[in-house]
Chain A
Amino acid sequence: MIDPASGIDRVGQLYLADDKIVSIDTRPEGFQNCRTIDASGLVIAPGLVDLSARLREPGLEYMATLESEQEAAVAGGVTSLACPPDTDPPLDEPGLVEMLKHRARNLDRARVFPVGALTQGLKGERLTEMAELHDAGCVAFSQADAPFANLYVLMRAMQYAATFGFAVWLHPQDVHLANLGVAHEGEIATRLGLPAIPVCAETIALSNILSLMKETGARVHLCRISSAEGVALVRAAKQQGLALSCDVAVHHVHLTDMDIGFFDANCHLMPPLRSLADRDALRAGLLDGTIDAICSDHAPVDEDAKLVPFAQSASGATGLELLLPLVLKWAQESRLPLADALARVTLQPARVLGVDVGRLAPGAVADLCIFDPDDYWTVSPLRLKSQGKNTPFLGMELCGRVKFTLVGGQIVYDSGHAGLPR
């Protein structure tokens, strides 16, 4: 058992009843065993909490469906996930959010936490009915990767969200500086002749956000930071005491622009993969707490969308089923205790979400990820349940495989019986 919250890292027994953990090690009085899971040799951890998983519903079912991506989530040990509002239509009306929650509830897999659109249609012009959206189930508000018409709209959106204490999730990238870029501005983009996105597209957007936080008092979560300079700005802002949290996509913890190789469209990600120095700074930011969480940045796309020249390809990679092994790989490379590494995908993203999940303790919800940390497997389209087979890690051997996933005490994934009845 590993619980980052309490620091538990030992062999033991977990007793579950209804949807909760009722006891650790001591059998509660009158406890009746209905089912025992023998997890010897395996790790029991809190279920993973993913801050950025696109489920592509509503509207983008040709890329993926709620069914396929929910199966992918639990196969990856993810029991709670936040989905950004960049669907079609965007999550800008309570009805859409209620429908998504309802569909997710019926599937009975991972817990889905919708992030509502900050502006109507994500057009960056008019505010959404945030309070109504919150009542419908939105946990935060975001503009996804869409631009604001101008900084005035962003300031008002932050002010309005701050009125109700809602968190604003922002991906810091200036749309004009990014222009039509598809790769990090550096030697690789220069060699490949790819339109480039300079680091200042991130740092300038970030500086604006930080200034507006001071102006409006809004709580901000920064999504998918990518650069060393960006990490430095966040570090300084946190030292000043700003109410700021921050995540990084798991791809950026491992890869750099070098991995694009000869135009591998699976490495077309947004923000772009940056330099080795940037990747190292992201890792340092994770270690010193500047970056709170690692997200999968799950973005399944249809196969044809990657079989075109790099700049024309859809950005994004499937990630739900790779999050755990890639975090384990990072932990091993950084010689980080498992509990510390898992904190970045359990406890800490749960805090960002403001939801009481991601810990093993009596009274906590029984969302569990039970995995074999020593099981090697090769990433291949057939092994992935996600409808998106697009990942830079195709063909790579990774270590760590989920055996059981429990949500609210129910087994929702069992690798021995893949495809459990709903």
Chain B
Amino acid sequence: MSAHPQLNKNGELQHLLTTEGLPASILQHILDTAESFTGVTEREVKKIPLLRGKSVFNLFFEPSTRTRTTFEIAAKRLSADVINLNMAVSSQTKGETLLDTVDNLSAMHADMFVVRHSLSGAAHLIAKHVRPEIHVINAGDGWHAHPTQALLDVFTIRRYKQDFRALRVAIIGDILHSRVARSQIHALTTLGVPEIRVIAPKTLLPARVERLGVHVYPDMAAGLKDVDVLMMLRLQRERMQSAHLPSSEEYFKYYGLTPEKLALAKPDAIVMHPGPMNRGVEIDSDVADGTQSVILPQVNFGIAVRMAVMSILAGN
């Protein structure tokens, strides 16, 4: 535990690996920078030259459509060269190790790696290994962290709600296997949200989760009472095979978000989802497409937030 894994000696962002341990000032700086980029995405000419001449490598060891695409769009809008590598079907399957792959790509003068991997800690491992001038962005590692998703989530909340310090936020679903939930919890606590609730059956809660600063509600009705923000999580089909849950039907009945359950929250509560959604499993279509849903704006904000992260890492 010697050097800080993601800040340099001057306390500036060197890599973005997790929202845990990031000072509020850096989080706010990313959000403010993202705010300034939201205009860019609406302009006729959507490019600015902040990353001109830089190479961004999208290293995806796990399939992803939305995250990879928004990173690609964000990098291109900053005028970077983007190289997409679908590692699930590449050299890794031929036996090359993760770090060998990284070394080879570093030799091609990469400036930034955007890494998605199925195992927790993969982005930390790469960040520790690369030369100091290379920046690593964690685009999701195992169950551990997905910082840009959490950042776009808090960006969305900031757009719709004024003050983090007056909010009651509920995160609903498979907390145990969710890198999104972990990153959301750390970002929200750092930004001063006074009450974060996690709503899930006990089989989908990690041990000692309350130590992260959240309140546990096995009962969804109790958990949703007077909540300002509802953050839904995706439920993977595998959970039914691994004895975490009996069926998606029973899950939907007790933990799916329906208009009736949403009515328990504050009338102006907003509903979020990181996608991809399972309609009829964790969320009812009437809610997903309803007036309180901000799910599509989330996707759009994702581009501005990722532009902000990349430009800050590149030293702008």
Check if B1 is an interface residue, CB within 8 A of chain A: yes
Q: Which B residue sits closest to A179, measured CB to CB? A: B242
Contact A193 B145 (CB under 8 A): yes
Contact A193 B143 (CB under 8 A): yes
Min CB distance A201 to B, Å, is 13
Give the distance in Å from the alpha carbon of A311 to the alpha carbon of B99 in the complex: 15
Which residues of B, 101-133, contact A by the 8 Å Cβ criterion?
117, 119-122, 124-125, 128
Min CB distance B209 to A, Å, is 6
Q: Which residues of A contact B145 (CB under 8 A)?
A: 193
Min CB distance B118 to A, Å, is 9
Which residues of A, 22-39, contact B by the 8 Å Cβ criterion?
none
Contact B1 A193 (CB under 8 A): no
Give the distance in Å from the alpha carbon of A369 to the alpha carbon of B305 in the complex: 62
Give the distance in Å from the alpha carbon of A192 to the alpha carbon of B98 in the complex: 20
Give the distance in Å from the alpha carbon of A271 to the alpha carbon of B103 in the complex: 33
Q: Which B residue sits closest to A196, measured CB to CB? A: B207
Give the distance in Å from the alpha carbon of A285 to the alpha carbon of B160 in the complex: 56
Give the distance in Å from the alpha carbon of A262 to the alpha carbon of B99 in the complex: 17
Known: A193-B142, A193-B144, A262-B5. A310 touches B207 (CB 8 A): no
Contact A193 B208 (CB under 8 A): no
Which residues of A, 154-200, contact B by the 8 Å Cβ criterion?
185-187, 189-196, 198
Q: Which residues of B contact A311 (CB under 8 A)?
A: 119-121, 142
Min CB distance B85 to A, Å, is 17
Give the distance in Å from the alpha carbon of A303 to the alpha carbon of B163 in the complex: 49
Contact A262 B124 (CB under 8 A): yes
Q: Which residues of A contact B209 (CB under 8 A)?
A: 190
Q: Which B residue sits closest to A263, measured CB to CB? A: B121
Contact A193 B182 (CB under 8 A): yes
Contact A190 B207 (CB under 8 A): yes
Known: A190-B206, A193-B182. A309 touches B117 (CB 8 A): yes
Q: Which residue of the partner chain, among A190, A195, A261, A312, contacts B208 with CB atoms under 8 Å?
A: A190
Check if B179 is an interface residue, CB within 8 A of chain A: yes
Q: Which residues of A contact B120 (CB under 8 A)?
A: 192-194, 263, 309-311
- Decide if the interface of chain A is mainly helix, strand, loop or mixed: loop
Which residues of B, 168-194, contact A by the 8 Å Cβ criterion?
179, 182
Min CB distance B82 to A, Å, is 25
Known: A186-B207, A311-B120. A191 touches B20 (CB 8 A): yes
Q: Which residue of the partner chain, among A191, A198, A261, A310, contacts B1 with CB atoms under 8 Å?
A: A261
Q: Which residue of the partner chain, among B98, B206, B212, contacts A309 with CB atoms under 8 Å?
A: B98
- The range of chain B's interface size is 20 to 34
Q: Which residues of B contact A312 (CB under 8 A)?
A: 119
Contact A308 B182 (CB under 8 A): no
Q: Which A residue sits closest to B186, measured CB to CB? A: A191
Check if B97 is an interface residue, CB within 8 A of chain A: yes
Give the distance in Å from the alpha carbon of A187 to the alpha carbon of B97 in the complex: 30
- The range of chain A's interface size is 20 to 34
Which residues of B, 126-157, contact A by the 8 Å Cβ criterion?
128, 141-145
Q: Which residues of A contact B142 (CB under 8 A)?
A: 193-194, 309, 311
Q: Which A residue sits closest to B181, measured CB to CB? A: A193
- Encode contact with A along B193-221: 1 for CB under 8 Å, 0 otherwise: 00000000000001111011000000000
Known: A189-B206, A193-B144, A262-B124. A310 touches B211 (CB 8 A): no
Which residues of A, 263-281, contact B by the 8 Å Cβ criterion?
263
Contact A192 B207 (CB under 8 A): no
Give the distance in Å from the alpha carbon of A311 to the alpha carbon of B1 in the complex: 18
Give the distance in Å from the alpha carbon of A189 to the alpha carbon of B119 in the complex: 13
Contact A262 B144 (CB under 8 A): no
Q: Which residues of B contact A192 (CB under 8 A)?
A: 120-121, 144
Q: Which of A186, A189, A263, A307 is most buried by chain B, counting CB atoms within 10 A of its CB?
A: A263
How many A-B pairs with Cβ below 8 Å? 74
Check if A304 is an interface residue, CB within 8 A of chain B: yes
Known: A263-B125, A310-B121. A190 touches B98 (CB 8 A): no
Give the distance in Å from the alpha carbon of A308 to the alpha carbon of B95 in the complex: 13
Contact B97 A191 (CB under 8 A): no
Q: Which of B99, B125, B141 is most buried by chain A, counting CB atoms within 10 A of its CB?
A: B125
Q: Which residues of A contact B179 (CB under 8 A)?
A: 193
Give the distance in Å from the alpha carbon of A187 to the alpha carbon of B120 in the complex: 15
Q: Which A residue sits closest to B125, measured CB to CB? A: A309
Q: Which residues of B contact A194 (CB under 8 A)?
A: 120-121, 142-144
Contact A309 B122 (CB under 8 A): yes
Contact A308 B97 (CB under 8 A): yes
Contact A262 B1 (CB under 8 A): yes
Q: Which residues of B contact A308 (CB under 8 A)?
A: 97-99, 125
Give the distance in Å from the alpha carbon of A192 to the alpha carbon of B141 in the complex: 10
Contact B122 A198 (CB under 8 A): no
Give the distance in Å from the alpha carbon of A242 to the alpha carbon of B144 in the complex: 44
Give the distance in Å from the alpha carbon of A186 to the alpha carbon of B120 in the complex: 16
Q: Which residue of the partner chain, among A190, A262, A304, A310, contacts B212 with CB atoms under 8 Å?
A: A190
Contact A309 B121 (CB under 8 A): yes
Min CB distance A87 to B, Å, is 24
Min CB distance A229 to B, Å, is 15
Give the distance in Å from the alpha carbon of A193 to the alpha carbon of B117 in the complex: 13
Q: Which residues of B contact A185 (CB under 8 A)?
A: 207
- Encode contact with B along A248-261: 1 for CB under 8 Å, 0 otherwise: 00000000000001
Min CB distance A3 to B, Å, is 40
Give the distance in Å from the alpha carbon of A306 to the alpha carbon of B76 in the complex: 36
Min CB distance B146 to A, Å, is 10
Q: Which B residue sits closest to A183, measured CB to CB? A: B120
Q: Which residues of A contact B122 (CB under 8 A)?
A: 309
Q: Which residues of B contact A198 (CB under 8 A)?
A: 207
Min CB distance B160 to A, Å, is 28
Contact A191 B182 (CB under 8 A): yes
Q: Which residues of A contact B97 (CB under 8 A)?
A: 304, 307-308
Q: Which residues of A contact B212 (CB under 8 A)?
A: 187, 190-191
Give the distance in Å from the alpha carbon of A157 to the alpha carbon of B119 in the complex: 38
Pairs of residues from A and B, 3 with the lowest C-beta to C-beta distance, nearest first: A193-B144, A193-B143, A263-B121
B residues adjacent to A (C-beta < 8 A): 1, 5, 20, 97-99, 117, 119-122, 124-125, 128, 141-145, 179, 182, 206-209, 211-212
14 pairs from A and B in contact (CB 8 Å cutoff)? A186-B207, A190-B212, A191-B20, A192-B120, A193-B143, A193-B144, A196-B207, A262-B5, A263-B121, A309-B120, A309-B122, A310-B119, A310-B120, A312-B119
A residues adjacent to B (C-beta < 8 A): 185-187, 189-196, 198, 261-263, 304, 307-312
Other CB < 8 Å A-B pairs besides A192-B144, A263-B124, A311-B121, 13 of them? Answer: A190-B206, A190-B208, A190-B211, A191-B20, A192-B120, A193-B142, A194-B142, A196-B207, A308-B99, A309-B119, A309-B121, A311-B119, A311-B120
